[in-house]
Amino acid sequence: MGAVVDVDRGAGRWGGDRRAAQREATRARLFEETVAEFRRRGFADTEIAVVAERVGVSRGAFYAHFSGKDAVLREMLIAEERLIAETARAATGPGASLGALLTAVVDTVLTAEQRLGRRLVRDLCAAQFRPEFAQLLAVNDHPLGLMLVEQIASCAPEVDPVDVTMVFLTGLFGLLATDEGTMPDRRRRLDFLIRQLAGTAELPVQPAQGGE
């Protein structure tokens, strides 16, 4: 009798594990398809019903995994920020200057833009200026910001690391969310932001006119 009970319990655990695996697989497919739709149509024009249909589940099944489009965008933002933070940290060894650190972040973000597409990066950046989206984010949901504060405190102790991080990320995200210029134009503006924060934004000296 005890053996039968053990078999039943084992079967129950196996069934529970299988259901959990199926649930995770469905969630992953919904996440991937929602991100793909963001890239195709943009965040504003993405429809949950279309995503659910592509995955082969009901609209209600989507909401069993995510509270809405913002939840998918939030999850993606955290993952991308973590990747950017890790890449930029690895690209700047100990003793790197503030300018080198911020440049590494910009380099990594613009590389991510090429990988993800301009539309998706614009939506990710713009979302951070929407109050309803910002409310979904806790302090620890900003791995890039946390990395910058830590690194700036080490490489530039003469400045307030929180202030520099906030100004830099506001400028970075704001420009990428709104500037429709070419990549070289946007890069030039971001480089200017870096020079300002690194304290090297002086105007070039103009040659003297009519002197000896």
Longest dimension (CA), the chain: 109
Cβ atoms of 52 and 62 closer than 8 Å: yes
pLDDT, residue 58, reads 93
- Residue 11 pLDDT more than 80? no
pLDDT, residue 123, reads 94
Tell me: the pLDDT tens digits for 19-31?
888 999 999 999 9
138 and 39 housed in the same domain:
no
**Cα–Cα dist 198/44, whole Å:** 36
pLDDT, residue 119, reads 93
**Cα–Cα dist 63/52, whole Å:** 10
Map tokens 């440049």 to a residue. Answer: 103
| Report field, pTM of the whole predicted structure over 0.85 | no
How far is residue 46 from each of residues 22, 31, 68, 101, 154, measured CA to CA in Å? Answer: 25, 13, 11, 35, 42
pLDDT above 70 covers a percentage of the chain that reads 85
**Cα–Cα dist 187/173, whole Å:** 13
Angle CA 9–24–44, to nearest 5: 155
- CATH (domain of 35): 1.10.10
Total domain count for the chain? Answer: 2
- Residue range 99-126: average pLDDT? 94
25 and 80 housed in the same domain:
no
Nearest alpha-carbon partner for 123 in 28, 39, 31, 180:
39
Residue 208 is assigned to a structural domain of this protein: no
114 and 145 housed in the same domain:
yes
CA 24 to chain centroid = 22
- Residue range 14-21: average pLDDT? 76
Residue 207 is assigned to a structural domain of this protein: no
Going by the DSSP 8-state scheme, the letter that residue 65 receives in this structure is: H
Cβ atoms of 168 and 103 closer than 8 Å: no
Residue 1 is assigned to a structural domain of this protein: no
Tell me: the pLDDT tens digits for 30-81?
999 999 999 999 999 999 999 999 999 999 999 999 999 999 999 999 999 9
**Owning domain of residue 124:** 70-197
Residue 52 is assigned to a structural domain of this protein: yes
151 and 74 housed in the same domain:
yes
pLDDT-based confidence at 89, cuts 50/70/90?
very high
Give the domain-ending residue among 43, 65, 87. 65
97 and 153 housed in the same domain:
yes
Tell me: the pLDDT tens digits for 131-172?
888 777 776 778 999 999 999 999 988 899 999 999 999 999
Question: What angle, rounded to 10 degrees, do the helices at 161-178 and 143-155 form?
Answer: 130
Residue 93 is assigned to a structural domain of this protein: yes
Give the domain-ending residue among 35, 50, 65. 65
53 and 132 housed in the same domain:
no
54 and 88 housed in the same domain:
no
- CATH (domain of 162): 1.10.357
The residue type of 156 is: A
Residue 206 is assigned to a structural domain of this protein: no
3-state secondary structure of 117: coil
61 and 85 housed in the same domain:
no
Residue 145 is assigned to a structural domain of this protein: yes
Residue 99 is assigned to a structural domain of this protein: yes
